[in-house]
Amino acid sequence: MSKPLLEVNRLYCERDDRVLFSELEFQLSAGEIMQIEGQNGSGKTTLLRILSGLSLDHEGEIRWRGEPVAAVRERFCAEMLYLGHQAGVKAALTPAENLRWYAALQPACASADIPLALERVGLRGYEDVPCHALSAGQTRRVSLARLYLSRAPLWILDEPFTAIDKQGVAAKEKLLREHARRGGSVILTTHHELAIDGPVRTINLDQRAGTSA
């Protein structure tokens, strides 16, 4: 069993006069998929934002490959892909332009893979259509295409299946399992019933305690 990729110790977060979670602890190793469960408002999105480093409103320790995340921030950002509530897609640009910009931001992506990535999310033929002319689902898929581009080992996904049809969901579930098989890890939240073959760890924030696998 190799060193865990991500370690979370005694994580505490409060917002709007409510303690969302305290003494949250877990470890994530390569090849693991973890789902954060909880009702709406229980802090799932907040937790993902804290793990990705976007939110600073927390106490406790987060370690990446054994080092405190704050000390290795650049390396962590290069090895992590975050998919938030918002698509992160500019409506005025085409899917290809959006992905090329993403590749510039994340050097671990190769822009040569962009056409293939767009095809895998079902946007072949739409590479040069401005995203404001696409549907919400299609725009969301531009964002998901990043999953096919990125070489980051850790994926933090917040509701990745929104606005995706059943076929697309099945394809993404397969992708997640493949990613885990190749040594990557995934942390995600979703309302869908996950049908990924293989073990999926869960943490239920409503119980405010971690359940380790």
176: contact with another protein by CB under 8 A: no
Integer Cα distance of 133 and 131 in angstroms: 5
Query: Amino acid letter at 161?
Result: F
Assigned token pair, 43? 């802090």
Please state the closest distance from residue 79 (CB atom) to another protein, in A: 7
- Residues 50-89 touching another protein, rule: CB under 8 A, are 52-57, 65, 74-75, 77-80, 82, 84-89
Contact between residue 33 and residue 198 where contact means Cβ atoms under 8 Å apart: yes
Please state the closest distance from residue 124 (CB atom) to another protein, in A: 19
- Tell me the three state secondary structure of residue 76: helix
- Say how many residues make up the chain: 213
Nearer to another protein, 36 or 180 (CB): 180
Please state the closest distance from residue 95 (CB atom) to another protein, in A: 14
- Tell me the three state secondary structure of residue 100: helix
How far, in Å, are 16, 173, 206, 208 from residue 19 at the CA level? 8, 32, 11, 10
10: contact with another protein by CB under 8 A: no
Contact between residue 131 and residue 93 where contact means Cβ atoms under 8 Å apart: yes
Please state the closest distance from residue 159 (CB atom) to another protein, in A: 13
Site string for another protein, 126-165 (x = CB under 8 A): ----x--------------------xxx------------
Contacting positions for another protein (CB under 8 A) = 5, 15, 17, 30, 52-57, 65, 74-75, 77-80, 82, 84-93, 97, 101-102, 104-108, 130, 151-153, 179, 182-184
